[in-house]
Amino acid sequence: MLTYILRRILLIIPNVVLLTVLLFWGVTSLLGSPAAMMLGEDASPEALAELSAMYGFDRPIYDQYLSWIWNALQGDFGRSFTTQQRVADAVLPRIPVSLEIAGLAILLATLGATILNSIPFARRALATFNTGLSVIGITVPNFMLGISLIYVFSVELRWLPTSGWVPWSVDPGQHLVHLIMPVVTLSAFYFGSFTLVYRAEYRAVYRQLFITVARAKGLSEWRVSFLHALPNSILPVITYIGLSLGQLTGGAVVTETVFSVPGVGRLFVESITSHDFPVMLALGIIIIVGVVVMNLLADILYTVVNPQIRLG
């Protein structure tokens, strides 16, 4: 296992380097002149030249990249153009917020999709219900679902707050209450996708010979379903989780914006609207590393769930 992990890490490093190069080039070149975007298109050439010299925008692109990545590896992402705050101080407090929402959303979607479609006596009874939820989750955009939940549960029923965030250290109860709608909104799409993937694999597995043998031995339907069928059916879901992490980032941006959650997604939107390049680059590299690491963890979990899979 250790050899497999080390080999995967060695394969990941070139991908991360390439992605950071594309990220830096895209932000500093494709979006236009950073100095012009900060000062506006009507700024004088002298002001643009002065600002470019101040922030090093006039240096060659490869020189800017090497300087940026070297400082980033040491935890120095520079200072925000808009607030002059250290980028690390602005970004780091928001990471746990986004991780909590995204982690709970994936957990809720995975447990819901696997358990609801594995309960022996309820598989047929819940089939229509699960299908309806899957269609809603896949087809309804995050922002529309979030606004609909706000209208129903906040405006009409007055059960939940419309938006905002309360840290766990301040009030655990209110923290959990403010989590409900963002987590449900973000998990809806993944519940639908995971349900379709898991149900198709579960039906194929349930027709295999080892399931018939397990039932012939007199094992209960619960043991057959959860101890034999589920571990072999969940593998495609684990793979899909790894492939969906990029989409999860985009969904988090929309969800955090709709519910005014002070997470990485909302900060990313704010940095784009204010043309805050250091913050955009810092968030970009954090997202890249996060997606790559989570894909690695998904591969490791894949082998833990089913030890019969050989590590090639």
- Per-residue pLDDT of 19-40, as tens digits, reads 899 888 887 776 666 777 677 6
Do 207 and 258 fall into the same domain? yes
Q: What are phi and psi of 38, to 5 degrees?
A: -80, -40
Mean pLDDT calculated for residue range 192-209: 87
Answer with the residue of higher pLDDT: 311 or 189.
189
Amino acid at 149: L
The closest of 211, 238, 312, 216 to 4, measured between CA atoms, is: 312
Q: Tell me what pLDDT residue 35 has.
A: 73
Task: State the pLDDT at residue 305.
Answer: 63
Choose among 312, 112, 308: nearest CA to 210. 308
Residue pLDDT, tens place only, 52-85: 787 777 788 888 889 888 988 888 888 888 888 8
Please check whether residues 134 and 272 belong to one and the same domain: yes
Residue 206's pLDDT is 84
* Mean of pLDDT values over 262-269: 86
Which of 30, 47, 74 corresponds to the end of one domain? 74
Q: Could you say which DSSP state residue 263 is in?
A: S
The pLDDT, as a whole number, for residue 309 is 57
Tell me the average pLDDT across 92-114: 89
Residue 10 belongs to some domain of the structure: no
The residue that leads in pLDDT, 284 or 124, is 284
Nearest CA among 241, 219, 244, 243 for reference residue 229: 219
In angstroms, the CA 142 to CA 233 distance is: 28
According to the model, what pLDDT value does residue 79 have? 85
Whether 244 is covered by a domain: the verdict is yes
For residue 39 the two structure tokens come to: 């000062």
Q: What backbone phi and psi angles, to 5 degrees, belong to 259?
A: -100, 10
Question: Are 99 and 241 within one domain?
Answer: yes
Considering the domain architecture, whether residues 44 and 124 belong to the same structural domain is answered as: no
Question: Which residues does residue 86 pair with via DSSP β-bridges, in sequence order?
Answer: 79
* pLDDT tens string 269-283: 888 888 788 888 888
For residue 177, is it within any domain?
yes
Could you write out the DSSP letters of every residue in 101-159? HHHHHHHHHHHHHHHHTT-GGGTTTTHHHHHHHHHHHHHS-HHHHHHHHIIIIIIIS--
pLDDT in tens, 145-154: 889 999 999 9
Q: Is residue 11 part of a domain?
A: no
Predicted TM-score (pTM) above 0.85: no
* CB-based burial label for 6 (10 Å; 0-12, 13-18, 19+): exposed
Where is the domain boundary, 74, 109, 142? Answer: 74
Domain count, the chain: 2
Co-location of 35 and 143 in the same domain: no
Are 244 and 107 part of one and the same domain? yes
In the predicted model, is pLDDT for residue 211 greater than 90?
A: no
In a domain, 274, yes or no: yes
**Least confident stretch, 115-129, 184-198, 281-295:** 115-129
The answer to whether 312 and 21 have CB atoms below 8 angstroms apart is no
CATH number at residue 171: 1.10.3720.10
Domain assignment present for residue 222? The answer is: yes
Q: In terms of domains, do 138 and 240 share one? A: yes
Give the mean model confidence (pLDDT) for residues 116-138: 77
* Domain stop point among 43, 74, 105: 74
Inform me whether the pLDDT recorded for 243 exceeds 80: no
When pLDDT is cut at 50, 70 and 90, the band that residue 180 belongs to is very high
List the structure tokens of 126.
Answer: 């819940």
The reply to whether 84 falls in a domain is no
Range 293-307 average pLDDT: 72
Q: Are residues 166 and 204 in the same domain?
A: yes
How confident is the model over 216-245, as a mean pLDDT? 83
Residue 12 inside a domain? The answer is no
Nearest to 258 by CA among 165, 119, 196: 165
pLDDT category at 181 given cuts 50, 70, 90 is very high
- How far apart are the C-alpha atoms of 249 and 142, rounded to whole Å? 12
Q: What single-letter amino acid sits at 125?
A: A
Q: What's the average model confidence in pLDDT over 220-230?
A: 86
Question: Are residues 65 and 110 both part of a single domain?
Answer: no
Please state, for a pLDDT cut of 70, what percent of the chain lies above it.
90
Whether residue 2 has pLDDT greater than 90: no
Q: Please indicate, yes or no, whether residues 33 and 156 belong to a single structural domain of this protein.
A: no
pLDDT of residue 153: 92
Identify whether residues 24 and 106 lie together within a single domain.
Answer: no
Range of the domain at 208: 93-305
- Of 80, 109, 91, the closest CA to residue 251 belongs to 109
| Average model confidence (pLDDT) across the chain | 83
For residue 169, give the DSSP letter: T
Is residue 248 located within the same domain as residue 111? yes
Report the SS3 class of residue 87.
Answer: helix
Whether 10 has a pLDDT exceeding 70, the answer reads yes
